[in-house]
Amino acid sequence: MMERILLGVFFLSECLILSTSVLRQFYFVNQSLNWTEAQTYCRQKYTDLVTIRNSEETNQLMNTLSSAGHSSEVWIGLFSEIDWRWSDGFTGSGAEYRNWRSESNEPNFISGKDLCVITSISGLWFDVKCSEKRQFICYKGTQLDPNFVYVSQSMNWPSAQRFCRENFVDLASVRNETENQSILKSWSSGHFPWLGLYRDPNVYWSDGSSFLFSNWYNGKIPLGSMRIVCGVTSIQLSGSWKLLSCETRLPFVCYKLPVKKQVVKLRLKTEDSVDLNDPVLKENILKKLQDRLKEDEVSGITLKWRGQLDGEVFRKEKLKEP
């Protein structure tokens, strides 16, 4: 019976989507706080740290900063969790070994796309785009006693991973300097082959919005050994995004959703035995609707029933006589 009721109720969600077209209001806050403090401030005073969902909101943010006379960096609601992992899933002793090239601030996340790792003939590592075609290093044997194999075919990182898994064990994991030096003996200079180290983007918005639109700064974004980094933008960056230590103290921009109430009348056809005013049933209907809105990536809407004078929400209609 519940399923039959909800077929009619889904009509309500389609009507409510219309109310999300209201323009968000942006507020520049000229206080220097770290990212977490700025997030708390925005949630207490407004809705949250600002989320940028498209180019129009980028322009709106730039206008907000321009009106405030502020051109340097500000916090936005963007943050990223940096979790480097090995292709073979190794997490034992030595899994945290890294040999980044410090002179170029590796890993440096250029254009927000450097998610896979290569090595050089000097044994120093770089993060680059996973789509690049490069030679690579597999291993055979076991995780604790690997025998490294250099493959001279050029493939992107996912294809190299698949090749290693089909023909050997996996892309190479490197647990210490001894293994790093052992890899260097397997090829000549002039190539920068893939290792098994990679990470997922893991980019999020403070308010839980889906990460669909991106506007990364087209340059180096040094990440070093940081595990959590937070997003900034500025007029100087033309609205593009960089990542900094979340402990940096900066001004920030909040947003607020204008309150707009919309009453939608709903007619449902049910069996006589179903009491739509039952509190549990009403709560279940609201939950189903809220879940549907979330699936459709609609945010900023709070659903509640509007009671009549007697406190009831639904009334039975009298059947019209034929």
Number of domains in the chain: 3
Q: Do 69 and 167 fall within a single domain?
A: no
pLDDT category of residue 298 using cuts at 50, 70 and 90:
low
Taking the model in full, what pTM does it have? 0.74
- Token pair, residue 34, equals 């770290």
Of the residues 150, 173, 198, the one at which a domain ends:
198
Residue 14 has pLDDT above 60, yes or no: no
Overall average pLDDT of the 115-144 stretch: 96
Residue 1 has pLDDT above 50, yes or no: no
Please tell me the distance from the alpha carbon of residue 301 to that of residue 58, in angstroms, as a whole number.
Answer: 23
pLDDT category of residue 16 using cuts at 50, 70 and 90:
very low
Q: Do 170 and 99 fall within a single domain?
A: yes
Overall average pLDDT of the 194-212 stretch: 96
Q: Do 76 and 206 fall within a single domain?
A: yes
The confidence score (pLDDT) of residue 259 equals: 64
Q: Do 89 and 194 fall within a single domain?
A: yes
Does residue 135 or residue 317 have the better pLDDT? Answer: 135
Of the residues 180, 198, 216, the one at which a domain ends:
198
Overall average pLDDT of the 277-281 stretch: 74
Q: Do 132 and 155 fall within a single domain?
A: yes
DSSP letter at 41 equals: H
Of the ranges 1-15, 56-70, 134-148, 216-230, which one carries the lowest mean pLDDT score?
Answer: 1-15
Q: What sign does the dihedral 172-176-180-182 (CA atoms) show?
A: negative
Q: Which residue has the tokens 């979340």?
A: 246
Smallest Cα–Cα separation from 57: which of 163, 180, 192, 215? 215
Does residue 297 or residue 88 have the better pLDDT? Answer: 88
Domain that holds residue 134: 85-198
What pLDDT, in 10s, does the model give residues 224-265?
999 999 999 999 999 999 999 999 999 999 999 876 666 666
Smallest Cα–Cα separation from 195: which of 111, 110, 107? 107
- Token pair, residue 13, equals 């969600």
Overall average pLDDT of the 49-68 stretch: 97
Does residue 294 or residue 29 have the better pLDDT? Answer: 29
Q: Dihedrals φ, ψ of 300, to 5°?
A: 80, 15
Q: Do 77 and 212 fall within a single domain?
A: yes
Smallest Cα–Cα separation from 226: which of 83, 86, 39? 83
Q: Do 111 and 191 fall within a single domain?
A: yes
Q: Do 218 and 115 fall within a single domain?
A: no
Smallest Cα–Cα separation from 214: which of 34, 20, 53? 53
In a domain, 302, yes or no: no
In a domain, 315, yes or no: no
Overall average pLDDT of the 12-33 stretch: 68
Q: Do 222 and 91 fall within a single domain?
A: no
What's the one-letter identity of residue 259? V
pLDDT category of residue 299 using cuts at 50, 70 and 90:
low
What pLDDT, in 10s, does the model give residues 153-191?
999 999 999 999 999 999 999 999 999 999 988 887 778
pLDDT category of residue 15 using cuts at 50, 70 and 90:
very low
Q: Which CATH number do you get for residue 227?
A: 3.10.100.10
Q: Do 176 and 118 fall within a single domain?
A: yes
In a domain, 39, yes or no: yes
Q: What pairing do the DSSP bridges indicate for beta strands 74-81 and 203-205?
A: antiparallel
pLDDT category of residue 10 using cuts at 50, 70 and 90:
very low
In a domain, 7, yes or no: yes
The confidence score (pLDDT) of residue 9 equals: 43
Residue 270 has pLDDT above 70, yes or no: no
Q: Do 138 and 177 fall within a single domain?
A: yes
The confidence score (pLDDT) of residue 320 equals: 57
Pair 262, 34: CB distance under 8 Å: no
- Token pair, residue 123, equals 């044994």
CB-based contacts of 126, cutoff 8 Å, min separation 6: 100, 101, 104, 106, 107, 117, 118, 119, 120, 192
Overall average pLDDT of the 218-226 stretch: 93
Overall average pLDDT of the 82-110 stretch: 95
As a whole number, the mean pLDDT across the chain is 86
Q: Do 97 and 146 fall within a single domain?
A: yes
- Token pair, residue 35, equals 């990212």
Of the residues 198, 218, 243, the one at which a domain ends:
198
